[in-house]
Amino acid sequence: MDEFYLLVHYDKAWEYNTPVLGIDFGYAEAVLAAAKRIGSAVGMFERIFVFVPIADGEKVFRIYPA
Protein backbone atom coordinates (compact mmCIF):
# COMPACT_ATOMS: atom_id res chain seq x y z
CA MET A 1 0.00 0.00 0.00
CA ASP A 2 1.31 3.39 -0.95
CA GLU A 3 -1.09 5.62 0.99
CA PHE A 4 -3.25 5.40 4.11
CA TYR A 5 -6.42 7.45 4.53
CA LEU A 6 -8.44 7.82 7.72
CA LEU A 7 -12.21 8.20 7.45
CA VAL A 8 -13.95 9.32 10.65
CA HIS A 9 -17.67 8.48 10.72
CA TYR A 10 -19.66 11.10 12.62
CA ASP A 11 -22.80 8.98 12.67
CA LYS A 12 -23.69 8.04 16.25
CA ALA A 13 -22.58 11.46 17.49
CA TRP A 14 -24.86 13.07 14.91
CA GLU A 15 -27.83 11.02 16.18
CA TYR A 16 -27.31 11.61 19.91
CA ASN A 17 -25.77 15.10 20.21
CA THR A 18 -26.90 18.62 19.54
CA PRO A 19 -26.26 19.59 15.89
CA VAL A 20 -23.10 21.53 15.17
CA LEU A 21 -25.02 24.12 13.16
CA GLY A 22 -25.33 27.62 14.62
CA ILE A 23 -24.88 31.26 13.73
CA ASP A 24 -21.68 31.51 11.67
CA PHE A 25 -20.69 27.98 12.72
CA GLY A 26 -21.31 24.60 11.13
CA TYR A 27 -19.60 21.36 10.19
CA ALA A 28 -17.05 23.13 7.98
CA GLU A 29 -15.94 25.34 10.89
CA ALA A 30 -15.84 22.35 13.26
CA VAL A 31 -13.64 20.47 10.80
CA LEU A 32 -11.35 23.50 10.49
CA ALA A 33 -11.03 23.63 14.28
CA ALA A 34 -10.20 19.89 14.33
CA ALA A 35 -7.62 20.37 11.59
CA LYS A 36 -5.92 23.13 13.58
CA ARG A 37 -5.92 20.96 16.69
CA ILE A 38 -4.42 17.96 14.86
CA GLY A 39 -1.83 20.02 13.01
CA SER A 40 0.81 17.74 11.56
CA ALA A 41 0.38 14.97 14.16
CA VAL A 42 -1.34 12.62 11.71
CA GLY A 43 0.82 9.54 12.11
CA MET A 44 0.91 7.37 8.99
CA PHE A 45 -2.09 8.98 7.28
CA GLU A 46 -1.73 10.99 4.08
CA ARG A 47 -5.31 12.26 4.28
CA ILE A 48 -8.00 12.44 6.98
CA PHE A 49 -11.71 12.87 6.24
CA VAL A 50 -14.88 13.25 8.34
CA PHE A 51 -18.12 11.71 7.04
CA VAL A 52 -21.32 13.35 8.34
CA PRO A 53 -24.79 11.94 7.55
CA ILE A 54 -27.00 15.01 7.73
CA ALA A 55 -30.76 15.36 7.38
CA ASP A 56 -30.63 16.33 3.70
CA GLY A 57 -27.92 13.89 2.61
CA GLU A 58 -24.28 13.27 3.37
CA LYS A 59 -21.18 15.43 3.54
CA VAL A 60 -17.50 14.58 3.60
CA PHE A 61 -14.99 17.09 4.93
CA ARG A 62 -11.21 16.89 4.63
CA ILE A 63 -9.34 17.51 7.87
CA TYR A 64 -5.84 16.81 6.60
CA PRO A 65 -4.21 18.23 4.62
CA ALA A 66 -6.15 21.39 5.41
Q: What integer pLDDT is reported at residue 32 of this predicted model?
A: 87
Integer Cα distance of 2 and 13 in angstroms: 31
Report the domain count for the chain.
1
User: Which comes out higher in pLDDT, residue 18 or 52?
Assistant: 52
Q: What integer pLDDT is reported at residue 6 of this predicted model?
A: 95
pLDDT above 60 (res 14): no
pTM listed for this prediction: 0.74
Q: What integer pLDDT is reported at residue 64 of this predicted model?
A: 92
| Those residues with Cβ within 8 angstroms of residue 30's Cβ, 6 or more apart along the chain or in another chain | 20
Mean pLDDT taken over the chain: 83
Domain that holds residue 30: 5-64
User: Which comes out higher in pLDDT, residue 24 or 42?
Assistant: 42
